[in-house]
Amino acid sequence: MKFFKLYGWMAFCLGGHLFAQNAFDAYRYSSFDFGSTARTMGVGGALGALGTDFAVIGTNPAGIALNRQSVFTLSPAFVANTTDSRLSNDPEGLSSRETISKLNLSNFGIIVFSDPRSEQWSAFNFGMGMNRLQQFNQNIFFDGHSLGSITDQFVEEANDADNYNPFGAGVAIDAEAVYDLDEDGTYETDYQLASDAVLYRQQYVTRSGSMNELSFAFAGNFQERIMFGLSVGVPIVNFTQTKVYTEEDQGDGPDGSVPYFDNLAFREYLNTTGTGLNFKFGMIFRPAQAFRLGIGVHTPTFFSLEDNFTSDMEYQYTVEDGEVVEASGESPDGYFNYKLRTPWRFLGSAAVIIEQFGFISAEVEYVDYGNAAFNYDNFQLEERQVNSDIAATFGSALNVRAGAEFVYDVLRFRAGVAVLPSAILGEKITNPTWSLGAGFVQKGYFVDVAYRFGNLQQTYLPYNSATGVNQLVNTDLALNKLLFTLGVRF
């Protein structure tokens, strides 16, 4: 049972179901990346106590109160994600590699400096723009020979009226992969005639999309000692996933290993879109010129989302007289509107400025991912079930980010690390990412560049059967991001 709690999120083969959302969908839209500018990414995302960079609107909006000029920033990015995958059910299987590369816009924004002309207040600054919170680009491919069949899942759905899935079992029945031969109300499959047969299988998964946040912020600077800020965030989600799964009987003999069965292809499509709303409050305290402390509080993001999904299947089999039959099934167009509430976030940061040489900074972020919750209008039973799964799967996490900047004349050199522990209950895995950066600063403009890299190990489940053999695919995702920022001060 624990296995499915840890890894069932990767089994988006359930994505055609009306209630396709699961605990890891909530996690996907609750997990944010705060390194949208090259300076911030170069120091591991740890600028909460230092400010002046547009990206801090997403962590501690008080930071923009330290700007003494208006500034516009634009940050194009190049992202390359490589996934190595291997079907662990096949001990002789080989690893397959898929790479996806994208150019995107990580940030654009403006901070407007306003002098209140007051002895008490040094600045009233405004900021607005966009930061990229997450990107979903990934390709997965695996193949190999192993026991089990995806029809195990479909026949279970067909024989369980409470879990009947028109986007899984429904298309399998139409394609004759699942059938009631004796018309006794019990469905069967060809694979059940030879459940010890080894099949060749492969799948190609394509994921794309992003989550971008429009931000509007205000910050004030009181006597150069206390800065405060408030921002309103409007995240915009667009996630697309396409999956093509195939099986083939390559056994010896004219009839192969499984009577009748030749091959099948099952395709799924999912697109999730929507918008949300959140608020962020932050403060920075400067007890001494060289030392700063920051705090940030982020309300939950309240998302309104819509899923659009379809599935289809082709199934080929050979009857006793040698005739080859090709059958197919296609689902209707599915859609579902729902709401999601992400967890609160609490941040603390500190920085030490080393005069003329740069700074060292660190930031911690506390998030309890188990507090995320879906809201299904008029479907309370399903809503309670998925929210119970979220609470049973996830717990709290303390994300740590740290970095440093060294100043040499007009040049800046940066390095940072972010340690993101697994939020899955009982899992003791950390996922560090490392970053390097540099900058060139002039009076009216600056240019920054940063590179970040890290690895994420996952287990992927192409389908989920309660009684059959499930396929376990081990994946190693290498994350690479190259980010440029051009800033103009005026």
pLDDT digits (tens, 9 = 90+) for 110-168: 999 999 888 899 999 999 999 999 999 999 999 999 999 999 999 999 998 877 889 99
Contact 283, 294 (CB under 8 A): yes
Burial of 319 (0-12, 13-18, 19+ CB in 10 A): exposed
Contact 35, 324 (CB under 8 A): no
Name the helix (H) or strand (E) containing 267: strand 261-288
Question: How many whole angstroms separate alpha carbon 95 and alpha carbon 229?
Answer: 49
Q: What percent of the chain has pLDDT over 70?
A: 95
Residues 6+ apart with CB under 8 A from 89: 144, 146, 147, 148, 469, 471, 472
pLDDT recorded at residue 13: 33
pLDDT recorded at residue 253: 63
pLDDT recorded at residue 20: 62
Question: How many whole angstroms separate alpha carbon 151 and alpha carbon 179?
Answer: 11
Q: 449-489: per-residue pLDDT in tens? A: 999 999 888 888 999 899 999 999 999 999 999 999 999 99
In degrees and rounded to multiples of 5, residue 339 shows phi and psi of -125, 155
For every residue of 175-217, which 3-state class applies, written as one string? CCCEECCCCCCCCEEHHHHHCCCEEEEEEEEEEEEEEEEEEEE
Other C-beta atoms closer than 10 Å to the C-beta of 377 total 9
Contact 295, 255 (CB under 8 A): no
Other C-beta atoms closer than 10 Å to the C-beta of 214 total 15
Question: How many whole angstroms separate alpha carbon 258 and alpha carbon 256?
Answer: 6
The residues spanned by each domain of the chain are 2-238+271-308+334-489
pLDDT recorded at residue 9: 34
Q: Which of 52-56, 233-237, 274-278, 318-322 has the lowest mean pLDDT?
A: 318-322
Residues 6+ apart with CB under 8 A from 423: 27, 367, 369, 370, 394, 395, 396, 397
In the predicted structure, residue 326 carries a pLDDT above the cut 50: yes
In the predicted structure, residue 380 carries a pLDDT above the cut 70: yes
In the predicted structure, residue 10 carries a pLDDT above the cut 50: no
- The DSSP result for 315-372, as a single string, is EEEE-TTS-EEEEEEEPPPEEEEEEEEPPPEEEEEEEEEETTTEEEEEEEEEEEGGG-
Question: How many whole angstroms separate alpha carbon 115 and alpha carbon 67?
Answer: 11
Name the token pair of 489. 């001060």
The SS3 of residue 61 is helix
Name the token pair of 155. 């026949």
Q: Which fold has domain 2-238+271-308+334-489?
A: Porin (2.40.160)
Residues 64-77 as b/e (b if ≥16 CB within 10 A, e otherwise) read: bbbbeebbbbbbbb
Contact 284, 294 (CB under 8 A): yes
Question: How many whole angstroms separate alpha carbon 246 and alpha carbon 284?
Answer: 56
**Mean per-residue pLDDT of the chain:** 91
Average pLDDT, integer, range 327-353: 95
Name the token pair of 130. 């966009």
Q: Which of 10-19, 179-188, 272-281 has the lowest mean pLDDT?
A: 10-19
Other C-beta atoms closer than 10 Å to the C-beta of 20 total 21
In the predicted structure, residue 5 carries a pLDDT above the cut 80: no
Q: 393-434: per-residue pLDDT in tens? A: 999 999 999 999 999 999 999 999 999 888 888 878 788 899
> Is 16 or 167 the better-scoring residue by pLDDT?
167
Cα atoms in the 13 Å half-sphere on the side-chain side of 82: 9
pLDDT recorded at residue 254: 64
Q: 153-200: per-residue pLDDT in tens? A: 999 999 988 778 899 999 999 999 999 988 898 999 999 999 999 999
Widest CA span in the chain = 96
In degrees and rounded to multiples of 5, residue 402 shows phi and psi of -150, 150
The SS3 of residue 469 is coil
Q: 42-73: per-residue pLDDT in tens? A: 999 999 999 999 999 999 999 999 999 999 99
Contact 50, 359 (CB under 8 A): yes
In the predicted structure, residue 85 carries a pLDDT above the cut 90: yes
Other C-beta atoms closer than 10 Å to the C-beta of 219 total 29
pLDDT recorded at residue 34: 79
Dihedral sign from CA coordinates of 378, 379, 383, 385:
positive
Instruction: Provide the phi-psi class of 485: left if phi over 0, else alpha when psi is between -120 and 50, else beta.
Output: beta
Contact 97, 475 (CB under 8 A): no
pLDDT recorded at residue 436: 97
Average pLDDT, integer, range 275-300: 96
Cα atoms in the 13 Å half-sphere on the side-chain side of 158: 24
In the predicted structure, residue 19 carries a pLDDT above the cut 60: no
pLDDT recorded at residue 4: 32
Q: What share of the chain is helix, strand, coil (3-state, %, to 5)?
A: 15, 55, 30
Q: pLDDT band for 80, please (50, 70, 90 cuts).
A: very high
Q: Which of 361-375, 377-391, 470-484 has the lowest mean pLDDT?
A: 377-391
